[in-house]
Amino acid sequence: MHVLILAVLVSFFQGCGSSSEDASIKTIDFSESSTLSEFNFLKRVKKTTFIPLEYKKNCCISSIEKLEIFHDTLFVLSDDMIYLFNKKGKYLKKLGNNGRGPKECTSIFSFSIDRDNQAVRVYDYQTNCVCSFTTSGKFIQRTKVGLIWQAEASDSNELLCYPINCFGQEPYNLVVINTIGDTLRTFPNYLKFRLNGNPFLFRIGETIFHNQKGISFHQFLSDTVFKYNSQQMALVPRFLLKGVNTLPIDLLGDLGKFEKKEDNYNWLERIQESRRFLFFNAKMHGKNTNFIYNKKQNRLSRVIGPETGGAPKTLAESNFFWPNSVSSKDRMIRFWTAYSFKNYYKEIVKDKESLKYLAAHQCPRFEGFYNSVDINDNPIIQVTWMN
């Protein structure tokens, strides 16, 4: 999850292409979050497995900034490079080269998999370009997009880009850009943010996320999740979020006021989506809180995490299954540095009930795997399938 100096312009976007009264728009109500039923991962997991990423002289990874899985290939972003591994963690190659040449990337901020066109879109923030590669690593083209926070490819081979604006000045608009860099559509904000103090670091996640049917967009502090309709080049409301984004935008312009009042409010920090579920990371009256929304059943549940810091003693006390990313096939993906993995699970590996549970869910040798990991190894990927 990135850290950005926020001076945001928060709003609905104009040109949505649909009325908020549309019956197809579902409301997700967080207002009574303390009374929601608990989502118990231990009862919903089908199997879980661990994939140690192979260490080589030309593949030394300190940490993982982003991970995507496509056709059983793991695409891993770390330290301005994208590494490819097979499904067992064997190192395959790097995607492209690091440098200032016409087919190279200098500083990779993020990337996305264009699954419809089988391409990888890589955002180089020093050159303000998106470099496109085939999923096998062949360079396709470079597109100038300007200074952006995130870029995702639609099914019609356009780029939906969310610009960075650290100073609260125009433009701060969601834009649609074609593959040669032309702006095709702009979705302007109509609420303005005025900086009334010093800007400060504020943690947010991706504003644009994929599901199995396309791209969705949620702007920080907005109460609407939109779907991008590439045929009409429009944003269509999907979900209305009630009772969760209560933080006044003016507090983001003054660090002193924010620190005094932040515990009085709620806000979403990140949304992820799989085939059946929406995963929400939220701050609720000063506490980090996770929620899961079952799209088919239209039901929101709380995920109870550990109340105290330090290493949990059992799986039930941990956030073992909460994902860093998810796939459309309801695979939950979590990644660890080797050091954090060893430290976090040093007590769980001693708990007989936890080991018994893992063995029953196709992870029979967790203790042996744990002991085999060295703190200097490459990171470890945990993949969990849900029932």
For residues 194-199, give the mean pLDDT: 50
Residue type at 58? Answer: N
**pLDDT for res 7:** 39
Burial class (CB in 10 A: 0-12, 13-18, 19+), 275: middle
Which of 97-101, 109-113, 293-297 has the weakest average pLDDT? 97-101
What are the φ and ψ backbone dihedral angles of 124, each rounded to 5 degrees? Answer: -100, 110
Q: Residues with Cβ < 8 Å from 54, sequence gap 6 or more? A: 85, 89, 90, 91, 378
User: Could you tell me the two tokens for 175?
Assistant: 């834009």
Radius of gyration, CA atoms only, the chain: 21
**pLDDT value of residue 9:** 37
With a cut of 60, say whether residue 165 has pLDDT above it.
no
- At a CB cut-off of 8 Å and minimum separation 6, what does 88 contact? 51
pLDDT of residue 306: 62
Q: Average of pLDDT values for 206-220?
A: 76
pLDDT (tens digit, 9 = 90+) per residue, 279-317? Answer: 999 989 888 899 999 999 999 999 976 655 567 888 888
What confidence category does residue 6 fall into, taking pLDDT thresholds of 50, 70 and 90?
very low
d(CA 14, CA 235): 8
What distance in Å separates the CA atoms of residue 295 and residue 227, rounded to the nearest whole number?
15
Angle at the Cα of 287 (from 262 to 219), degrees rounded to 5?
A: 65
Q: pLDDT (tens digit, 9 = 90+) per residue, 118-149?
A: 889 898 888 888 889 999 889 998 888 877 77
Contact 254, 262 (CB under 8 A): no
Walk me through the domains of the chain, giving residue ranges and CATH numbers. 3-42+63-309 (2.120.10.30)
- Higher-scoring residue by pLDDT: 20, 295: 295
pLDDT at 200: 44
Confidence of residue 335 (pLDDT cuts 50, 70, 90): very high
Please give the pLDDT value at position 194. 52
H/E stretch holding 352 reads helix 352-360
Helix and strand element counts for the chain (H, E)? 4, 29
Name the more confident of 210 and 85: 85
Question: Mean pLDDT over residues 51-62, rounded?
Answer: 93
Characterise 175 by phi-psi region: left (phi > 0), alpha (psi -120 to 50), beta (else). Answer: beta
Query: What value does the mean pLDDT take over residues 247-276?
Result: 84
Which uninterrupted H or E stretch holds 5?
strand 3-5
Q: How far apart are CA 194 and CA 189, in angstroms?
A: 13
Is the pLDDT reported for residue 48 higher than 50? yes
Model confidence, pTM: 0.85
Give the whole-angstrom CA distance, residue 123 versus residue 377: 28
Q: What percent of the chain has pLDDT over 90?
A: 35
- What does the pLDDT read at residue 308? 52
